[in-house]
Structure 1
Amino acid sequence: MRADRLVSLVLLLRQRGRLSAATLARELEVSTRTVLRDIEALSAAGVPVYAQRGRHGGFALLPGFQTELTGLNHDEALALLIAGSRRGAQAFGLGSALASAMLKVIDALPESHRHTAAGVAERLLIDPDTDLLARRTTTDEIPDATMAEIRRAVFAGRKLRIHYAALDQAPQWRTVDPIGLVTVRDQGYLLATRSGADRTYRLSRIHAAQKLDEPAERPDRIDLDRAWQERSTRFRTGGDQVTVLIRLNPKRREELVNTALAVHTERTDADGWLRLEASFQDSRHAEWALWQLSTQAEALAPQWLRTSLHNRATALATRYNETI
C-alpha cells in the first residue's frame, strides 16, 4: 500500500507541480505527518524532491525528472473498469485505487496531450457530494479491509464468512457462496447463495468478512444483470407488502412513484388530485413514504395507516406547542 502511495505522490508532483503537504495529504487520504515521512523516503531513494518554504511554498520535483512508474496494479485496473461511475468505485471500496489509476493514465499520455488532459479534467465534475439544494448524497461506508476480503472471495470463487447485521437484528456470522457485487444508487450489495438459496446482502451491514479456502458452489458463468432483476422482482412481490389507497397532489406524483414498489391503479378526481393504489415493502415503508409527502397526500386506506399518521402528527404538534 505504501509503495502505491509513493508512486501516487510522485505522479501528483509531476502533473501539478508544487503542492503543499496539506494538499498532498488530502489527495492521498493520509495525514500530513505521513506525507512528510513519504517525502523523506523518496529523497532517500534518490527521487529529487525539494521543499520551498513560505506562504506559497510546498514540495516539487526537479524540472525534467522522468520515471517509469505508470504500471497499473490489480485494484487500479479493476477501478478503471467501473470508472463510468465514480460512486460505484467508492461503493466497492476502490475509490482510492481509481484516483491512483487515473494519475497513472494521465502520466502515461504523451507529453503533448498530458497538460491538455489535466486541464480538461479540471472542467468536469461528476457526481458531486451535494446537489443544488445542498442536500448531501450518501454512499455506503464499508471498511477497506472488509471490502477487500469480499472482493477477493468473489473474484477467486471461494466461500465467504460474513458478520452480517440484518435489519433490526444483532450481527451474526454466516457462510455464503458469493456470486457477484452490485451497486444501485450509491448502495452496494453482495449477491450470494446460502445452503443453495438465493441471498442478497447490503454491503454496509457486513461488519467483517473472511475469505475461506473452500471453493464456492456457484456456476462458472453468471448473467449478473438477470440475477439482479430476478431478485428485485421477488423482493417487490414477496414479504410483508402493504397496499395503500392514496389521494395525491399531482405535482408530487413522481416522488411517490419513485418511492413505492408499484402503482396498480390511478385516476384523477374532480378537483384534479390523483387517486392511486400503490404497494409498499411493509407498514414502516408505507408510513415513511406518506409522511414525506406531508399535506400533499392523504392515505385513505387502510385505517391503521391513517391512525398511525394521525398519532405521529399529533405527537409532533404537541411537542412544538410547548413553550421553551
Structure 2
Amino acid sequence: MRADRLVSLVLLLRRHGRLSATSLARELEVSTRTVLRDIEALSAAGVPVYAERGRHGGFALLPGFQTELTGLNHDEALALLVAGSRRGAQVFGLGSALASAMLKVVDALPESYRQTAAGAAERLLIDPETDLLARRAVEEELPDAVVAEVRRAVFAGHRLRIHYEAPGSAAEWRTVEPIGLVTVREQGYLLAQRSGEDRTYRLSRILAAEELDEPARRPDRVDLGRAWQERGTRFRAGGDQVSVRLRVRPARREELVRTALAVLTEETEDGWLLMEVAFQDARHAEWALWQLSTSAEALEPQWLRVALRDRAVAVTTLYGEGEK
C-alpha cells in the first residue's frame, strides 16, 4: 500500500509541478504528517524532491526528473476496464485503483498530448452527484474489505461465505457460488448460485465476506448481460414480490431505495417523486411505507392503501383513548 502511495505522490508532483502538503494529503487521502514522512522516504531513496517555502510554496521534483513508474498493477488495469463509469469503479471497490491508474496513464503520455488531455478533461463531467432536479445519487455504504473479498472470490472462481442481511430479516451466513458482479444506477449486485438456484445479492447488504479455498461450482463462461436480463424477467414475474406505485418526498428517496428490492420507474410531478418500486412481499411493502409516514403515499395497489389506513386508525384509536 505504501509503495503505491509513493508512486502516486511522485506522479502527482510530475503532473502538477508543485503541490503543498495539504493538497497532497487530500489527493492521497492521508494526513499531512504521512505526506511529510513519504517525502522523507522518497528523498532517502534518491528521488530529487525538494521543498519551496513561502505562501505559494510546496513540494516539487527537480526539472527533467524521469523514472519508470507507469506499470499498471492488476487492480489498476481492472479499474480502467470499468472506467466508463467512475461510479462503477467505486461500487466495486476500485475507486483508489482507478485514481492511481489514471495518474500513470497521464504520466505515460508525451508532454504535448498531456497538455491536450488535461484541457479536454476539463470539458467533460461524468456522473455528477446530482441531476438537473438536484436529486442526489444514492451512495451505498460498501466497506472496501468486504467488496475486495467478494471480488477476489469472483475472479478466482472460489466459493464464498457471506453474512447477508435480506430486507426485513436478520442477517445470516450462507455459502454461494459467485458468478459475477453488476452495477446498476450506482448500486452493486453479486450474481451467484446457491444450492443450484440463481441468486442475486445487493453488495450493500453483505456485512462480511470470506473467500473459501474450494472451487466454485459454476459455468466456465458466462454472459452477464443475458444473465442479468433473465433474472430481471423472473424477478418481475414471480413469487410473492409486490410492485407498488407511490409518491415520495425527494428528501426521503434514499431511505426508500435502501429498503426496496428495485426501483422500476421514476419521474417527477409537483415536487413529488412518482415511483414504481418492488418489495419482497406484502408485509415488506406495508412496513416500508409506514416508516416514511406522511412523506410517502401508496397509490396502487388498493389493498396496500387500505392496510396503511387501518394501521393509522388503530394507532389513532390507541393514543386517543386516554384523552378527556
TM range (shorter): 0.7 to 0.9
- Is the CA contact (8 Å cut-off) linking 1:9 and 1:24 kept in structure 2? yes
Q: Show the counterpart of 2:75.
A: 75
Mind listing any 5+ residue stretches in structure 1 that lack a counterpart?
Answer: 248-258, 263-277, 317-324
Q: Report matched runs for 1:110-189 at 5 Å.
A: 110-189=110-189
Mind listing any 5+ residue stretches in structure 2 that lack a counterpart?
Answer: 248-261, 266-275, 317-324
- Is the CA contact (8 Å cut-off) linking 2:244 and 2:298 kept in structure 1? no
Partners in 1 of 2:73 and 2:191 — Cα distance?
26
Q: For residues 51-97 of structure 1, give each alpha carbon's deviation from its aligned partner in whole angstroms, at most 9, with x where no partner exists.
A: 12232221111111111100000000000001100000000000010
Opposite residue 120 of structure 1, the aligned amino acid is: A
Partners in 2 of 1:56 and 1:292 — Cα distance?
53
Partners in 2 of 1:57 and 1:220 — Cα distance?
56
Q: Show the counterpart of 1:94.
A: 94
Partners in 2 of 1:51 and 1:224 — Cα distance?
51
SS of 2:234's partner is helix
Partners in 2 of 1:69 and 1:63 — Cα distance?
17
- Is the CA contact (8 Å cut-off) linking 1:299 and 1:306 kept in structure 2? no
SS of 2:149's partner is helix
Q: 1:64 to 1:230 in 2, by over 3 A?
A: same
Q: 1:295 to 1:197 in 2, by over 3 A?
A: closer
Q: 1:295 to 1:23 in 2, by over 3 A?
A: closer
Q: Show the counterpart of 1:14.
A: 14
Deviation at 1:294, TM superposition (A): 7.5
Q: For residues 119-172 of structure 1, give each alpha carbon's deviation from its aligned partner in whole angstroms, at most 9, with x where no partner exists.
A: 222232211223344433223222212211111111111111112122222322
Q: Report matched runs for 1:1-324 at 5 Å.
A: 1-242=1-242, 261=264, 280-281=278-279, 282-283=281-282, 284-285=284-285, 298-299=299-300, 301-302=302-303, 304-308=304-308
TM-score (norm 2): 0.79
Opposite residue 173 of structure 1, the aligned amino acid is: W
Q: 1:261 to 1:107 in 2, by over 3 A?
A: closer
Partners in 2 of 1:141 and 1:122 — Cα distance?
29
Q: For residues 208-245 of structure 1, give each alpha carbon's deviation from its aligned partner in whole angstroms, at most 9, with x where no partner exists.
A: 21111111100101111111111111111123234679
Q: For residues 235-276 of structure 1, give each alpha carbon's deviation from its aligned partner in whole angstroms, at most 9, with x where no partner exists.
A: 1112323467999xxxxxxxxxxx8758xxxxxxxxxxxxxx
Percent of aligned pairs sharing the same letter: 72
SS of 1:38's partner is helix
SS of 1:225's partner is helix
Partners in 2 of 1:89 and 1:157 — Cα distance?
21
RMSD, matched Cα: 3.1
Partners in 2 of 1:299 and 1:99 — Cα distance?
45
The number of residues matched between the two structures is 290
Partners in 2 of 1:136 and 1:36 — Cα distance?
36
Q: 1:60 to 1:175 in 2, by over 3 A?
A: same
SS of 2:19's partner is coil
Deviation at 1:42, TM superposition (A): 0.8
SS of 2:233's partner is helix
Opposite residue 301 of structure 1, the aligned amino acid is: Q
Partners in 1 of 2:264 and 2:6 — Cα distance?
48
TM-score (norm 1): 0.79
Deviation at 1:205, TM superposition (A): 1.2
- Is the CA contact (8 Å cut-off) linking 1:43 and 1:49 kept in structure 2? yes
Opposite residue 59 of structure 2, the aligned amino acid is: F
- Is the CA contact (8 Å cut-off) linking 1:242 and 1:286 kept in structure 2? no
SS of 1:39's partner is helix
